A and B are shown apart, each in its own frame.
Chain A
Amino acid sequence: MTTAQKDPVLVVLQMSGGNDSLNTVIPFTDPLYRDYRPTVGIPEDKALPITDSLGFHPNMGPISDMYKQGNVAIVHGVGYENSPRSHFRSMDIWHTCEPDTLGTQGWLGQVIRDIDPKKENVVTGVSFGPSMFRAMALPGVPVATVDDLNNYGLLTGITEQAQRDRILERYKNLYAQTIGTGPVMEFLGQTGLDALKGADILGVAPQKYSSTIEYADNPIAQKLKGIAQIHLADLGTRIFYSDHGSFDSHSNQLGMHGVLMSDVSVAIQDFFDDLREHDAAENVIMFVFSEFGRRTHDNGSGTDHGAAGVTFVIGDRVKGGEYGEFPSIKVADLQQGDQVPSTDFRSVYSTLLEDWLGMDAKPIVGGTFEKPAFIETN
């Protein structure tokens, strides 16, 4: 930590739908890759080299540049055993760290609870909606779910201010009642009060913001812009969540996946450029993941659900490079036609939790996992 001791901030970017990791970090010289992927294979001369044998997707130029600057950690082969290959079950597992039973506690929900146990700041966690991600969900833990930061407020349709204040005062009393109302009512009550408080706090962020960075005109860039606005307003938000998609490229993968790779890469570049312009990048890292990778063989048009996937950790305090083992694509090494995960996703979480956020990972991830050392220590 520097002397300024700014609290560490984690931004999660979820690539929903199962990102094809084999076309994200590509073994571009491997003849097997060519054999497996006659339709969706990326030509050898198009990949952006990471090493002699691995390269980024051609549309990931901005990420490749950040990688060369040493600010991107690539964690290979992330997943867990016995992947169900179901989007929903798999996303649940990533969100709750419960591979065998139904988890109800989001891993980041627990982080928010531990950072702010007394719920002093309702915007400790901010989720860019429209609906909240299960990773952030934990009963009783406030999370501000923002769809449009510029229009965030309660009963904004009542234009006469005195009347609105009077009604909001009642609203506060009505939502504060908890006695004997049951868990769902209590949850709604807390959510209503958090909404009220959060709106007052977050409302200032766009007003305080100015920047020379023009974010790209795609949904993930706009979400990251909102995140930058809140971060720069210094409201104490520590955990941000956003997603982009759908990466579910069963068909016509080449064009579709290319656009998504470009959306995400450019958005991340805009975001970090913006933070750096405001000298506010140092305490932020971004974690980029998807619920699973895709099958090694294409299906003649796209790729079906697989198991292992690639994740990225990006930021100034990240120790750039490759972590974990790139899972073999030799026929004998595949399971049900898929690359086998070499790194448990809870390993990556453990580093993020302990070495970045400075908390005990064990109770959150449910065990002790080897930690890839992708955070700089000084």
Chain B
Amino acid sequence: MTETNIALMAHLMRRASFGASREELEARVSNGYEATVEELLNPEAKEPVDLYDLFRYQPWTWKPGTIQGMGHASWLYRMLNTDAPLQEKMALFWHGVFATGVSKVDHWDEIIDLVDMLREKGMGSYREILRAVARDPAMIYWLDNNENHAHAVNENWGRELLELFSMGVGNYTEDDVRDCSRAFTGWTITPKLPRFPMGRFDWFFEYRDEDHDHDDKTFLGHTGDLNGDDIIDIIVQQPATAQFICRHLYNFFVADEPQVPAWSVTLPRDPEAVDMLAKVFVESDYDMRSVLRALFNSDFFKEARFARLKSPAEVVIGTLRMAGGADFPSPGLGNLARQTGYMGQDLMNPPSVEGWHTGSEWINSGSLMRRTNFFADLVGDVERPGIQAIIVNLKARGDLSPEQLVEGCLDLMGPLEISDDSRTELVSHAAEDGPIQWGNNGNSDHRVGEMLQLIVSLRDYQFA
């Protein structure tokens, strides 16, 4: 088992999962890279996360209604405990594209349902995903399609479907927006029942033909009595759609792209990579699983190590999974769930329908401070099982020189690649207290914790 294989597997697992322990990496390397990709692509074979424990101990996480900041606690729990991490990653990916938030929907339950749908369908056909999104009650309410009537057209959904969910700016006209919106008239939700005092009735999609505009519409050159699904069928066939969705995938899984509003005026950083993915997208009849398979097995993916800044969700879940101790639904889960929001990614409550700006826009002095403080608190807690596992592994290597301590910690947290200057700095920090001697130094665990605190404070730790 070469170090190269471990490093490559660690890369795959940082991107397609939320990172992996050394033990897991070694097991996966013996299985092989492509086999691991296949396993990740087939979540159906895994036991789903059992939410029974969660609801039993934290009943408010089931349909949290309007409890402030609590809507994504059950999602955090899933991401922490899942055996099908790519499925959660894809839910996260689509949530960033079909960004829908409680700031308007006002009720977590419907957004949880939407994310559940994205989890279930996220690796299937993009056409099916779009059809489901167009019928999703949270989305309908979020973009006012329940206010889109045959005789009073509301363009909110129609416009964002084209601008943010499929093709991107510049690939359609204002008339297309208008007629696209008309095609979705009558796509609404069942009457919302008052939330109080009874307040917890689910919302359902409803198509009202009497409120649908049956006159002819012209959309991207197609004319007729087009309905919503006809529009979706036209959209998925557009080359711009394949480019747009694959560029999103590239940005999420491979390397940071500029922000979405810039895509109409800047080329992808690797146009050939996006073209290759777009080709698979079209040839596979918009099958996300096929596109992901091509992506993870490509050279451009394998060569993109540490080319992305981790999103708050990725880095929070990744660090929690590494440190361990958060897998049981204990009190404080709500506070953990809010952490990503403090770092600028309030899940299920994006700043707008555009989703979050990614890459270096995640980082500002406030959010960097939040990241550093949260991770340092986690890894400095040496009683956590994941930190203990690192310490046990280090102990097995015998007494450690300052260099060996630094190398060991970097290795077991990734392996992480850092600059020589940073390494020198870490070594001189370790050298202040001399070598680690497990037998006669009761402070050794604590010193490992402190080294881990310095490592999670590194700039390098923000990259995946």
Contacts and interface: CB of A to CB of B under 8 A. Distances in A.
Interface string B407-425: 0000000000001011001
A130 B363 CA distance: 10
B364 A129 contact: yes
A76 B462 CA distance: 45
Given A157-B376, A157-B377, A167-B453, A302 B364 contact: no
Given A174-B458, A250-B147, A155 B421 contact: no
A191 B155 contact: no
B259 to A, nearest CB: 8
Interface in B101-152: 103-104, 143-144, 146-147, 149, 152
A150 interface: no
Interface in A132-185: 132, 137, 142-147, 152-158, 163, 166-167, 170-171, 173-175, 177, 179-181, 184-185
A241 B266 CA distance: 28
- The secondary structure that dominates the B interface is helix
A102 B357 CA distance: 15
B411 to A, nearest CB: 19
B373 A299 contact: no
A175 B342 contact: no
B283 to A, nearest CB: 31
B367 A131 contact: yes
Given A167-B450, A187-B360, A198 B153 contact: no
A133 B144 CA distance: 27
Contacts, number: 168
A142 B361 CA distance: 14
A251 B147 contact: yes
Interface in A85-121: 85-89, 92, 101-102
Interface string A302-319: 101100000000000000
Given A87-B354, A246-B103, A302-B144, A185 B459 contact: yes
Interface string B343-384: 110100001111001011111111111101100110010000
B309 interface: yes
B88 interface: no
A199 B369 contact: yes
A194 B365 contact: yes
A144 B103 CA distance: 26
A236 interface: no
B454 A154 contact: no
A342 interface: no
Query: 5 closest Cβ contacts across the A-B interface?
Result: A145-B366, A195-B365, A145-B364, A157-B377, A132-B364
17 contacts: A17-B352, A88-B354, A89-B261, A102-B262, A129-B366, A142-B365, A144-B365, A155-B372, A155-B376, A173-B425, A175-B459, A181-B419, A188-B462, A246-B352, A299-B147, A299-B153, A302-B144
Interface of B: 103-104, 143-144, 146-147, 149, 152-156, 159, 163, 169, 174, 256, 258, 260-262, 265-266, 309, 341-344, 346, 351-354, 357, 359-370, 372-373, 376-377, 380, 419, 421-422, 425-426, 429, 432, 450, 453-454, 457-459, 462
Given A131-B361, A131-B362, A301-B144, 17 more contacts: A130-B343, A143-B365, A152-B369, A153-B369, A155-B372, A156-B373, A157-B380, A163-B450, A174-B457, A175-B459, A179-B421, A188-B360, A188-B368, A191-B365, A246-B104, A250-B143, A251-B146
